Structure 1
Amino acid sequence: MAFGLIVGSASLVAQPVTIPIETENHVIVLQTDISNGLHTVYFGKPLAYPNEYAAVSGGYNYNDDNAGIYDAAYTPAGTWNLSEPAIQVTHADGNKSLDLKYLRHEVKPIDANSYLTTIVLKDPLYAFQVSLYYKVWKKENVIEQWTEIRHSEKGPVILRKYASANMYFSNKDFYLTTYNSGWAREMQPGETKLLPGLRSVDSKLGTRAMLLQSPNFILSFGKPASENEGTVMLGQLAWCGNFKLDFEVDSYRNLRFIAGINPYESEYTLQPNQSFKTPSLVYALSNSGTGEASRGLHNWARKYRVLDGEGERLTLLNNWEATYFNFDENKLKGLFKGAKELGVDMFLLDDGWFGNKHPRDGDTAGLGDWQENVKKLPSGLGYLVQEARQEGLKFGIWLEPEMVNPKSELYEKHLDWVIRQPQRPEKYFRNQLVLDLANPDVQDFVFGVVDNLFTKNPELAFIKWDCNAVIYNAYSPYLQKRGLPQSHLYVEYVKGLYAVLERIRAKYPKVPMMLCSGGGGRGDYELLKYYTEFWPSDDTEPVERIFQQWDYSYFFPAIVTDNHVTDWGRQPLKFRIDVASMGKLGFDIVTSHLNAMDRSFAQQAIKNYHSFKDIVWHGDQYRLVNPHEADISALLYVSRDKTRAVMFNYLVNTRYKITATDRPVVLNGLDPQKKYRVKEINTYPGIASTIDGNKEYTGDFLMKVGINPDVTLLRTSVVLQIDEVK
């Protein structure tokens, strides 16, 4: 690709301007028409001769009056467009029409692997412009796309809709996979063939974007999504507030895709000479199925986006399911000893440690009063931090600083900090309300909660940041006081959260933080700039977690998913630990309740985990057997040099008296020329493996014939370690 600057105008540009957005294996081609409108003319494999991109549009013949705007690169409303718009405005003079023409573009290299294309569009009649941004990571086949809107009209302009991206695909037949959710049932997939008309996926919850619908999606072209073949897009709107994804099949059976902040109750008043930046649409492209797209997205996330994505993570013991709110110093110190015996890195103190006038003895009181409860913790947090250190453990803590209980000192003193309709009865979600992060004073308070903890306890090693409530009765006292529209609240809340996180990371750049939101209510690539990981679900029943972790794995590398061993379900401890080992391992159990055999197994399994965690966290993932389609599930993680791998196999269906896997599981991602030895690890004490660990196989054999992990009703989880024979 030639890098440089191209400048034009409606009067000067006689020849079409062609702009390819190229990754290593894919290209999106944009092109101007004779009136300087900008269109998407190609989506597919890169051409061998880039000069031929200019000729692509000549092969299409769309004749009806509105078809000429179907493929607009950013579709305006109010002129001759009859389709779903990407942008809808009211100008300072009250006019609601908008037209956008190509003005100029720039292609700027960032490094050897990435570049940024900026395209400026302008209304010919108004001082109003839109800049389209495409940031490309070529090797990973990942594109981040967003928009900036700016004007210099004589008064404010009202943005009624302001999408992040507007894409167009002429590949026939489109299959969309989306994910509905609920508490403890996150990431439930559903695939459908898109038919003519509009299909929307959205959220109006204000804080927890992923509680009911997910901003993650899979778009497959020509046929349903497949792991190892076919053209697919894996995407996500990186925004933890209200989102909307529109998929519209037009009269030519082509697909228009528009993604951005949900315009629901979010009209935004933009003052002259100010700019509005939309959240990013992040997507990975593949011509070889979802597996390749996932690996590209994982590599991009670890290297370029997730905080410390190429670093380490802490194994931990959490007290939540061991004690809930019922604990004191002595009980916690007893859990320290259990954590040390297990061999984990850290103890995490969960909810219930704070509040005095309104003690946090349940979820009805205390939230917002972030001082140690003197009855439970008379010696303070500092004492616990030191006691943990003496046991050789780091110490982490739970917070939910965006929320407040009505039964709290914070609520009593600062009712004006709470999102609530003053004339309406309060409506609670888990007995709590949301603080108004549009208010800079509230931002200072939330930052201060974190800052005070670290000032008093500089050895704190981890924060679990929770967010349980949605926004009911949306109303900001701060916006009202400032004379700003209430329709700004949903946007300003998220911007306020980002502002707090920027301050935290400026002062505490390295401290690991977990995103938790009543389970998987939050997990996106904008927040993961500030967090090291997220909590996928409060449902820790291990069979259910196999399915959830499988579906999250399309979009997130294993290093960012927190998986805890708990007492949920009836599966044996071995099964629970094996499942939780496919990510960042943690425990939510009372170790003193383990019998001698379970304790011995857990200690050895943690040692094994430390031996292969680097492969799980930083290696390439291959989904081998889909639990949605088979009686077992199998996943493989391979080191980048292909010398080591670890394979997880689980029985997920016992309804038909399954006795064994009846055929080999074919592996992927190995070196066909290398020889490997396959050995079972994480065997339970006294149980011999049925896998011959002395046999040698070529990578070619394992990737064509495979190996049978021998999953049975007596061997419901099998972990295989694969090592190159030197």
Structure 2
Amino acid sequence: MIGFDASQRTINLSTRSTTYQMKIDPTGVLLHTYYGQKLRGGDLSRLICPEDRGFSPNPDEVGLDRTWSLDTQPQEYSSSGVGDFRTPSLEVDLADGSHTADFRYVRHTIEEGKYALEGLPAFYGEGVTAQTLTVELRDRCSSLVVELLYGVLEEYDMITRAVRVRNDGSAPVRLTRVASACLDFPVGDHDFITLGGAYAREREPVRAALTQGIHTAGSVRGSSSHQQNPFLVLCDRDATEDAGRCWGMALVYSGNFLASVEYTQFHETRMTMGIHPFHFSWLLQPGETFTAPEVAMVFSARGLGYMSQMFHRAIRLNLCRGPWKDQRRPILINNWEATLFNFDADKICSIAQAASKVGVEMMVMDDGWFGQRNDDFGGLGDWNVNQEKLPGGLAPLAKRIHDLGMKFGIWVEPEMVNENSDLYRAHPDWTFRVPGRPVTRGRYQLVLDLTRPEVKGYVLDNLRAMLKSADISYVKWDMNRSLTDVWSAGLPAERQGEVYHRFVLAVYEILEALHQEFPDLLIEGCSGGGGRFDCGMLYYTPQIWCSDNTDAADRLRIQYGTSFCYPCCAMGAHVSAVPNGLTHRATPLHTRGVVAAAGTFGYELDLNELTAEELKEVAEQIAAFRTYWDVVMRGDYYRLTSPFRQEDSYCAWMHVTADKSRAVVGLVQTVRHANPVRPLLRLKGLDPDRNYRVNGVVYGGDELMYAGLALPFLDQYQAVQYQIEAV
């Protein structure tokens, strides 16, 4: 998979269907020469055409040769201050006040298996063919060393990248930008796709043609955010779901990030991704190393759909961990939309009892069970049970739930504190706040300074005590505000630029401790819904609450956009009551079930308020989901239509098993017109040479994919679901 041609001085990384090549230039610059369809061989540096470019300076090594400039060379890790005016990969403040960084090749090693990162999540290589390439680059003047890490996961057509920066000099240096990946394209007209949106409108695909300049997506909110997502696609202008070249990048990180695409005066393109340089700096003492988070890259010559499927497989099997990564998750019911803060043990048990009768397997008690938590003004930080609501604590309630044949889960928000809490009154200095400035609140909350060992220890101790106090199978981990006033009393002034990153590392450390101590615990990530939906969190939490917006019509768009990178088994999706609390829209119960069944599947309502007929339908939804959950969770996902295309009157999607023997198709009528045209749906991913039974009728796989399936006329927001089996 990884080979070195000493005569050509090229390093080739090969997956099942891709080739990635770099070349060691005579000057020691590590050039990027190719990333695309798999090649048999060749030195692709021949595609780099020397040319005298005005205002593109030339390094000392090339003498009077005006045709060689870093400003026009495609590089594996771009320099700073020495003639390349494009986006730098690394920026540094050196002891003498200079900012120049010029990294040249020293050596490389090739090892079996996939590298791991200290204190950071990363894809792993168990169960697949994996190798690691480590390339050492050095800035000769400062003795700053960069280790470029490449992991090759052959079966997924995935190449991962990460960076370690080591100070081998005798004086401290300050890092002010450290990209995790830099990818240069010498020519080509491309589109770029980002996932934008807002709270309750997460991960809306935004596609635009590249024009000269720098196009960015990023977050400075302290988390990956609702507004942008650490995922980026570069693709051919005519790329579709099923055709065209696509290069996807996903950052395995949950904090501030910056993804950029620069299109230059010479129509070169540079993609970079990593920690956002906003308020970032890292003091690196002699002998110390800084490790930047991982970027996962997938190239597809078969369109966006295949790219997404490779991300889905790799995330499900080689990023998510623990016993839940490939198991059916419990079908749960959450009380939040049913009760908000107004509940007690009897109310929780009442909801659970109704749910147990229709086949729900877990009761999750949401916000409001601790401290003086009767609204969102107080109580956060006090993780002692509210005895008025839950007499005797968590254990008696958990037993009552278990006696119904159900598991018990609970909600926490460990990173936050209310000023109206015993914790804050005892330790007001444990929060982020800038000395001499008034605080900034979000949802009436302040942020605990987890970078301080005593604060991190308090949070972890309370979580451990909670989990040991009762039989708890599931935790919903929430984060309901962005970071502001980011200043830590535990760090000196010269290290305040490290706080954002140290905060993320602390969250990871707590989650890793829980993973090790409670290996069977299922943790669902959440940040006001989908505000921290990223590969970093999926390493610790194999599912994430996709959005606080549970409206089925809006979820079509949210789950569609999320699927560009993230698998359906990671998407927390529930059936909720109507009219929906956010959109005030009413959709049929069947439709809500079809949409939620494209994710982890659960309920977010009080089943006691449903009619007997509705309860019968819920029981049927649950029984049916148990028969096809493995198709949804483990199968390949196909976006058959887009809910963002106004000309499409319905939204359809499809899951197909790897052996093409089974499939599930979901479809929702999004727009209803008078005197409509008869709709046809062409399926994907089936075997054209096999026959399939579709809801009792047999068709050829070729018929279903090439001619299509005639759809019934549906009213707006009505849905159909097709169970498909090979015969």
Tell me if TM exceeds 0.5: yes
| 1:605 aligns with one of 612, 621, 638 | 621
Correspondence for 1:276: 290
Answer whether contact 2:656 2:686 (CA < 8 A) is retained.
yes
Q: Secondary structure at the match of 1:339?
A: helix
| 2:546 aligns with one of 536, 545, 548 | 536
Shift of 1:224: 4.3
Name the CA distance, whole Å, in 2 between partners of 1:123 and 1:26. 31
| 1:230 aligns with one of 236, 241, 244 | 244
Correspondence for 1:636: 654
Q: Secondary structure at the match of 1:479?
A: coil
Name the CA distance, whole Å, in 2 between partners of 1:638 and 1:46. 26
Q: Secondary structure at the match of 2:573?
A: strand
Name the CA distance, whole Å, in 2 between partners of 1:40 and 1:63. 20
| 2:607 aligns with one of 577, 587, 591 | 591
Answer whether contact 1:291 1:623 (CA < 8 A) is retained.
yes
| 2:490 aligns with one of 458, 478, 481 | 478
Q: Secondary structure at the match of 2:201?
A: coil
Q: Map of 1:118-137 to 2, 5 A cutoff?
A: 118-137=134-153
Shift of 1:658: 6.7
Correspondence for 1:46: 38
Q: Normalising to structure 1: TM-score of the pair?
A: 0.92
Spell out, residue by residue over 1:179-227, the C-alpha distance to the aligned partner (whole angstroms, 9 max, x if none): 2222111112211111111112221111x31222221222212x14410
Correspondence for 1:401: 414
Name the CA distance, whole Å, in 1 between partners of 2:100 and 2:569. 47
Name the CA distance, whole Å, in 2 between partners of 1:711 and 1:34. 67
| 1:21 aligns with one of 13, 18, 21 | 13
- 1:435 partner amino acid: L
Correspondence for 2:670: 652
Spell out, residue by residue over 1:297-323, the C-alpha distance to the aligned partner (whole angstroms, 9 max, x if none): 111111100123222211101000111
Spell out, residue by residue over 1:601-631, the C-alpha distance to the aligned partner (whole angstroms, 9 max, x if none): 1111110011101110011111112222211
Shift of 1:713: 0.8
| 2:50 aligns with one of 33, 51, 61 | 61
Q: Secondary structure at the match of 2:490?
A: helix
Shift of 1:478: 1.0
Query: Does 1:37 find its partner at 2:18?
Result: no
Shift of 1:5: 11
- 2:463 partner amino acid: V
Shift of 1:719: 0.4
Shift of 1:56: 3.9
Correspondence for 1:368: 381
Correspondence for 2:83: 80
Query: Does the C-alpha gap of structure 1 residues 152 and 484 become closer, same or farther in structure 2, counting only changes over 3 Å?
Result: same
Correspondence for 2:235: 220
Shift of 1:95: 3.0
Correspondence for 1:267: 281
Query: Does 1:441 find its partner at 2:454?
Result: yes
Name the CA distance, whole Å, in 1 between partners of 2:79 and 2:47. 24
Query: Does the C-alpha gap of structure 1 residues 2 and 209 become closer, same or farther in structure 2, counting only changes over 3 Å?
Result: closer
Answer whether contact 2:108 2:133 (CA < 8 A) is retained.
yes
| 2:110 aligns with one of 84, 107, 111 | 107
Shift of 1:162: 0.8
Shift of 1:63: 3.1
Answer whether contact 1:163 1:258 (CA < 8 A) is retained.
yes
Q: Secondary structure at the match of 1:625?
A: coil
| 1:419 aligns with one of 432, 451, 473 | 432
Shift of 1:256: 0.7
Query: Does the C-alpha gap of structure 1 residues 669 and 443 become closer, same or farther in structure 2, counting only changes over 3 Å?
Result: same
Query: Does the C-alpha gap of structure 1 residues 248 and 539 become closer, same or farther in structure 2, counting only changes over 3 Å?
Result: same
Name the CA distance, whole Å, in 1 between partners of 2:624 and 2:84. 60
Correspondence for 2:66: none
- 1:461 partner amino acid: S
Answer whether contact 2:22 2:32 (CA < 8 A) is retained.
yes
- 1:463 partner amino acid: V
Spell out, residue by residue over 1:240-299, the C-alpha distance to the aligned partner (whole angstroms, 9 max, x if none): 111111211112101011111011111110111111110111122100001111111111
Shift of 1:583: 1.0
Name the CA distance, whole Å, in 1 between partners of 2:173 and 2:5. 30
Name the CA distance, whole Å, in 2 between partners of 1:147 and 1:676. 49
| 1:722 aligns with one of 721, 724, 727 | 724
Gaps of 5+ in 2: 58-68, 114-124
Correspondence for 2:120: none
Query: Does 1:195 find its partner at 2:182?
Result: no
Gaps of 5+ in 1: 7-14, 680-692
Spell out, residue by residue over 1:698-720, the C-alpha distance to the aligned partner (whole angstroms, 9 max, x if none): 21221111212324117810000
Aligned residue pair count: 690
Name the CA distance, whole Å, in 2 between partners of 1:606 and 1:328. 27
Query: Does the C-alpha gap of structure 1 residues 491 and 105 become closer, same or farther in structure 2, counting only changes over 3 Å?
Result: same
- 1:132 partner amino acid: L
| 1:180 aligns with one of 187, 196, 218 | 196
| 1:509 aligns with one of 515, 519, 533 | 519
- 1:384 partner amino acid: L
Name the CA distance, whole Å, in 2 between partners of 1:332 and 1:628. 38
Spell out, residue by residue over 1:562-593, the C-alpha distance to the aligned partner (whole angstroms, 9 max, x if none): 10111212101111111101010111111111
Answer whether contact 1:249 1:255 (CA < 8 A) is retained.
yes
Correspondence for 1:145: 161
Correspondence for 1:690: none
Name the CA distance, whole Å, in 1 between partners of 2:465 and 2:145. 44
Name the CA distance, whole Å, in 2 between partners of 1:479 and 1:391. 50
- 1:95 partner amino acid: S
Shift of 1:664: 2.2
Query: Does the C-alpha gap of structure 1 residues 475 and 59 become closer, same or farther in structure 2, counting only changes over 3 Å?
Result: closer
Shift of 1:117: 1.3
Correspondence for 1:687: none
Q: Secondary structure at the match of 2:155?
A: coil
Correspondence for 2:116: none
- 2:160 partner amino acid: E
Correspondence for 1:712: 714
Name the CA distance, whole Å, in 2 between partners of 1:18 and 1:658. 63
RMSD of Structure 2 on Structure 1 (CA): 1.7
Q: Map of 1:260-409 to 2, 5 A cutoff?
A: 260-307=274-321, 308-355=324-371, 359-409=372-422
Name the CA distance, whole Å, in 2 between partners of 1:590 and 1:391. 16
Correspondence for 1:684: none
Q: Normalising to structure 2: TM-score of the pair?
A: 0.92
Spell out, residue by residue over 1:159-191, the C-alpha distance to the aligned partner (whole angstroms, 9 max, x if none): 011110111013411101112222111112211
- 1:99 partner amino acid: D
Query: Does the C-alpha gap of structure 1 residues 350 and 2 become closer, same or farther in structure 2, counting only changes over 3 Å?
Result: closer
Shift of 1:88: 0.8
Query: Does the C-alpha gap of structure 1 residues 696 and 28 become closer, same or farther in structure 2, counting only changes over 3 Å?
Result: same
Name the CA distance, whole Å, in 2 between partners of 1:90 and 1:495. 23
Answer whether contact 2:89 2:272 (CA < 8 A) is retained.
yes
- 1:213 partner amino acid: Q
Answer whether contact 1:560 1:583 (CA < 8 A) is retained.
yes
- Percent identity between matched residues is 32
Spell out, residue by residue over 1:339-386, the C-alpha distance to the aligned partner (whole angstroms, 9 max, x if none): 10221110000000000xxx1001110000001111111121101100
Name the CA distance, whole Å, in 2 between partners of 1:306 and 1:478. 33
Shift of 1:462: 0.1
Correspondence for 1:616: 632
- 1:236 partner amino acid: A
Correspondence for 1:562: 572
Spell out, residue by residue over 1:134-180, the C-alpha distance to the aligned partner (whole angstroms, 9 max, x if none): 11112211121111100121121100111101110134111011122
Query: Does the C-alpha gap of structure 1 residues 507 and 658 become closer, same or farther in structure 2, counting only changes over 3 Å?
Result: farther
